[in-house]
Structure 1
Amino acid sequence: MSLAARQAELVEALTSGKPVPPGFDPDRVNAARVALLRKRAGEVARQWPMLASALGDGWKREFTAWARTRPTQGSLRDGWDFARDLRADLPAAAGEELAEREARWIYDGASAPRPRRGPAVRSASGTVVVHIAGRVRVMRRSR
């Protein structure tokens, strides 16, 4: 097996939860995997502060469990995909953050997000966000 193929297997083991390739110490690979997931959670928390804050002490645990078998798409997209997966259970602040991003940007889950040019209405967790002519209006459900 070529060096490039072995490196690719190692990268998959570190980032996608694939089995540790032969010839590598499983304990060290797992330690590196955990460190990379924690780093990734921190990067996503910087892009999605309300999402991370809303999940509180469970943020790293929940995000790393979600990310363990998913290769990174970058912190913005990772957070977006994670928030979408939690959409039904998002706390209000995190739902507002998601709805605002989806009103301002177009993201299909596959390609890179791009700015939205036309009007949009998005909602999550009781918050409705309207984007018209470059301006965003946030409307929260009264309690």
Structure 2
Amino acid sequence: MGLADEQAALVAALVAGGELPAGFDAARVGIARDALLRKRAGEVAAAWPLLAAHLGTQWTVVFAGWARNRPPGGALRDGWDLARALAAAGRLPTGAAGELRARERRWRYDGVRPPRRRTLGAILHSGR
């Protein structure tokens, strides 16, 4: 494995639940991974304030549990994907459900491509 491959594997271990490459201290990488998850949770909380607020003290735990093995998609997408996952599991707090509905009304997001703003006509006719 070349240096570039080792670096890619380390990044995957840090942010996407990938296997830790040989020669790295698992405890130190774990500390760094947890710090990156907390940072990511803060970024998502800024983009999805009601989701974070309504999960309260459980926000970081819930987010980290969901995000631990997922590569970052950006704060908007990560929050959207988490909100949809919580809704599908019947665990989305009521206050956060309103935030998700507002996003679904104003943005188009299929879970694959980046979110795009809906046109005014689509918003007015969405019935949401």
Asked if TM exceeds 0.5, the reply is yes
Consecutive unaligned residues of structure 2, counting only runs of 5 or more, are: none
- Deviation (angstroms), 1:92: 1.6
Aligned to 1:89, what secondary structure does the other structure show? coil
TM-score, normalised with respect to structure 1: 0.83
Which of 102, 113, 126 aligns to 1:111? It is 113
CA distance in 2, matches of 1:78, 1:31: 21
- 2:40 is matched with 40
Does 1:102 find its partner at 2:104?
yes
Give the CA deviation at 1:90. Answer: 1.4
Structure 2 counterpart SS, 1:85: helix
**Deviates further, 18-27 or 32-41:** 18-27
Q: Structure 1: which 4+ aligned runs deviate by more than 3 Å? A: none
Which one-letter code corresponds to 1:120 in the other structure? S
TM-score, normalised relative to structure 2: 0.92
Letter in structure 1 aligned against 2:93 = P
Q: What number of residue pairs does the alignment pair up?
A: 122
Structure 1 segment 112-131 matched on structure 2, within 5 A: 112-117=114-119, 118=122, 119-121=125-127, 130=128
Give the C-alpha shift of residue 79 in structure 1. Answer: 0.2
| Letter paired with 2:16 | S
Distance in 2, matches of 1:89 and 1:82, equals: 11
CA distance in 1, matches of 2:8, 2:54: 36
Matches within 5 A, 1:24-63: 24-63=24-63
State which structure, 1 or 2, has the greater radius of gyration over its C-alpha atoms.
1
Unaligned runs of 5+ residues in structure 1 are: 122-129, 131-143
Superposed displacement of residue 91, structure 1: 1.5
Q: Give the structure, 1 or 2, with the largest relative contact order (CA under 8 Å, sep 6 or more).
A: 2
Name whichever structure is richer in helix by fraction. Answer: 2
Question: Whose strand fraction is larger, Structure 1's or Structure 2's?
Answer: 1
Identity within the alignment, %? 55
Name the aligned partner's letter for residue 74 of structure 1: G
Q: CA deviation at 1:19?
A: 1.9
Q: Which residue in 2 is equivalent to 1:22? A: 22
